[in-house]
C-alpha cells in the first residue's frame, strides 16, 4: 500500500472513501484548458472550446485527445498528448500548488475523514502517476492509502480503478463510496458496485450526474457518510 498507512477499525468495519481529483478535490480547469490550447496551437491547429475540454476531464489523456481531435490522425493525436503533457508539467513546475488549487473545504474534509479510525481514503484519477505524486506532494495530502492512476488502468468509466482499490484495501463494495464530478466517475463507481456521490462544483453539469447522492459542499460530506453507513449498519 502507499503512504498513509492502513488503520485498524475501532467500532465497525473499514470503509473506503475514493475521490476523483480534477474537478473534485482541485480546481484545475484553468490549467487544463490552457495546456490543451497550447498543445493544439503548437501543432498549428485550432484549439477546442473550453466546454469541449471540460467535457472530457476524467478520461485518460489518449482517450480525451481521441475525442477532442477525432478528425485528426492517430499520429497527430499522439503528438497532442505529448504536447499537453509538456505544457502541463511546465506549468506545474512554474506555479507549484497554485497550478491546481484545492477547492474550499477540501483539506478540512480530508483531514476530518482521515482522523476517523474506520475510514480509509483513496483516489481514482485520470492523472498520471507523476502528476498525482506531484499534486499530493505540493499540497501535502499524504492521507491516501490507495492511489489509482491512468498509467495502470483502462480509462474511466471502466471499473478497474475502483475494483483494484477495493482489492488493495480488502474492503467490500457495499462499504465503499466513489466521489467525483463527472459522469465517468459515477459510471465507474456504479459498474464496480459502490455507492456514488457526485459533487456539484465540478466540470460536468449536475443534471448529467446519475449519482446515488449529490454533495453541494465539502462541509456536508462527513454527515452524509455517517448517515449512509449508519443506515447500512441498521439494515444489517
Q: Please report the pLDDT score of residue 11 as a whole number.
A: 59
- The torsion region of residue 100 among left (phi > 0), alpha (psi -120 to 50) and beta comes to beta
Domains and their CATH numbers in the chain: 15-27+102-235 (3.40.50.1000), 29-98 (1.10.150)
Name the stretches of the chain with pLDDT < 70: 1-11, 231-236
Q: Please report the pLDDT score of residue 192 as a whole number.
A: 98
Residue 142 main-chain phi, psi, to 5 deg: -100, 25
What is the number of other CB atoms lying within 10 angstroms of the CB of residue 142? 12
User: Helix (H, G, I), strand (E, B), or coil: what is residue 216?
Assistant: coil
Q: Please report the pLDDT score of residue 114 as a whole number.
A: 97
Distance CA 98, CA 101 (A): 5
Residues 6 or more apart whose CB falls under 8 angstroms from that of 190 comprise 196, 210
Model's pTM, two decimal places? 0.88
Q: Please report the pLDDT score of residue 231 as a whole number.
A: 61
C-alpha cell at 97: 500548488
25-67 pLDDT, tens digit per residue, is: 999 999 999 999 999 999 999 999 999 999 999 888 999 999 9
Distance CA 45, CA 47 (A): 6
Amino acid at each position: 500500500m502507499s503512504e498513509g498507512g492502513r488503520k485498524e477499525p475501532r467500532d465497525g468495519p473499514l470503509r473506503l472513501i475514493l475521490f476523483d481529483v480534477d474537478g473534485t478535490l482541485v480546481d484545475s480547469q484553468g490549467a487544463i484548458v490552457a495546456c490543451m490550447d497550447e498543445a493544439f496551437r503548437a501543432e498549428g491547429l485550432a484549439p477546442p472550446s473550453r466546454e469541449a475540454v471540460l467535457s472530457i476531464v476524467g478520461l485518460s489523456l489518449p482517450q480525451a485527445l481521441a475525442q477532442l481531435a477525432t478528425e485528426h490522425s492517430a499520429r497527430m493525436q499522439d503528438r497532442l498528448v505529448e504536447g499537453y503533457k509538456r505544457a502541463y508539467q511546465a506549468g506545474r513546475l512554474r506555479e507549484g500548488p497554485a497550478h491546481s488549487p484545492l477547492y474550499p473545504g477540501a483539506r478540512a474534509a480530508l483531514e476530518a475523514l482521515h482522523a476517523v479510525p474506520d475510514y480509509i481514503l483513496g483516489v481514482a484519477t485520470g492523472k498520471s502517476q507523476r502528476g498525482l505524486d506531484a499534486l499530493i506532494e505540493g499540497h501535502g495530502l499524504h492521507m491516501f492509502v490507495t492511489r489509482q492512476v491512468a498509467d495502470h488502468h483502462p480509462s474511466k468509466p471502466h471499473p478497474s480503478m475502483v475494483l483494484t482499490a477495493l482489492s488493495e484495501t480488502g474492503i467490500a463494495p457495499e462499504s465503499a463510496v466513489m466521489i467525483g464530478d463527472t459522469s465517468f466517475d459515477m459510471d465507474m463507481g456504479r459498474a464496480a458496485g459502490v455507492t456514488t456521490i457526485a459533487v456539484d462544483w465540478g466540470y460536468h453539469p449536475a443534471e448529467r450526474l446519475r449519482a446515488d447522492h449529490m454533495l453541494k459542499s465539502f462541509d456536508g460530506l462527513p454527515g452524509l457518510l455517517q448517515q449512509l453507513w449508519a443506515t447500512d449498519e441498521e439494515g444489517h
